[in-house]
Amino acid sequence: MKRILVSGGAGFIGSHLCTRLINEGHDVICLDNFFTGSKNNIIHLMDNHHFELVRHDVTHPYTAEVDEIYNLACPASPIYYQYDAIQTAKTSVMGAINMLGLAQRLNARILQASTSEVYGDPIVHPQTEDYWGNVNPIGIRSCYDEGKRCAETLFMDYHRQNKVRIKIIRIFNTYGPKMLPHDGRVVSNFVVQALCNNDITIYGSGEQTRSFQYIDDLIEGMVRMMNTDDDFVGPVNIGNPNEFSILELAEKVIRLTNSSSKIIFKPLPFDDPKQRQPDISLAKEKLNWHPTVQLEEGLENMIEYFKYIAC
């Protein structure tokens, strides 16, 4: 049994991770300020005496005795991270500093949940971990993109300078139950719109591509990364390399929901990437990991979850 801290543990990804760790028999401290996280996501764990919920903002220091730290705290949807761009940047940067400081004091392993957004609007396709990215440092998405890039810098410098035992993963588009129904991300947007028989909104031509990863595959990759030897720190891409256009996704969702929704097109937001596809060769080699849930199966699970809360 390990004692594990999950910052952002009541969020979409964090709550699935907390459940996995509790099911494995660990003690889990879930840290969240509930800006985008929800108690509903972890309500099923509240009576478990191995689970502890703490309301806390990672921009302020936190102390606990733990063996491992998963640093997930940061809004990941454009609607939420652009709402308070300064706080988003502070969460990525100050949150990393505070969690790294705790890991250093405890000699604990710490995993940083970074993002494919560090690649920006890529000119290399698919994206490998040695690609430095094509990121606008002063755009409306920069608070998140550059905040996560700075967090990776801090993790590497704490590792090189202070010998902190770090792990870095770069998470590509992930979807599944417990996403917020109106968080502005494309899969949840389309599913909710289709279930309510509203127009499905595509920004741009719909020819831009994404690779969609189901939440269970991500959690498996995260846990495997945390359990690798200390000499492998990453970064490593965790995503599904099967690439779909946004238009293809919309058509799949309409078909699977048997919806009467029509597709409408609106202007593409500024700085929205045109392509996003992970090269997962490193994850296959180092983690013996690859995604197992394909898009239609994952969408069916997502649709079943949203049936009761969408409209």
- What is d(CA 185, CA 261) in angstroms, rounded to the nearest whole number? 18
Can you give the chain as a three-state secondary structure string?
Answer: CCEEEEECCCCHHHHHHHHHHHHCCCEEEEEECCCCCCHHHHHHHCCCCCEEEEECCCCCCCCCCCCEEEECCCCCCHHHHCCCHHHHHHHHHHHHHHHHHHHHHHCCEEEEEEEHHHHECCCCCCECCCCCCECCCCCCCHHHHHHHHHHHHHHHHHHHHHCCEEEEEEECCEECCCCCCCCCCHHHHHHHHHHCCCCEEEECCCCCEEECEEHHHHHHHHHHHHCCCCCCCCCEEECCCCEEEHHHHHHHHHHHHCCCCCEEEECCCCCCCCCCCECCHHHHHHHCCCCCCCHHHHHHHHHHHHCCCCC
- What is d(CA 13, CA 178) in angstroms, rounded to the nearest whole number? 8
Tokens representing 242 are: 């099967």
Q: How far is CA 102 from the centre of its chain?
A: 22
Q: Catalytic: which of 144, 158, 175, 214? A: 144
Look up 144 and say whether it is catalytic: yes
Tokens representing 275 are: 């392509």
Give catalytic residues, as residue numbers: 144
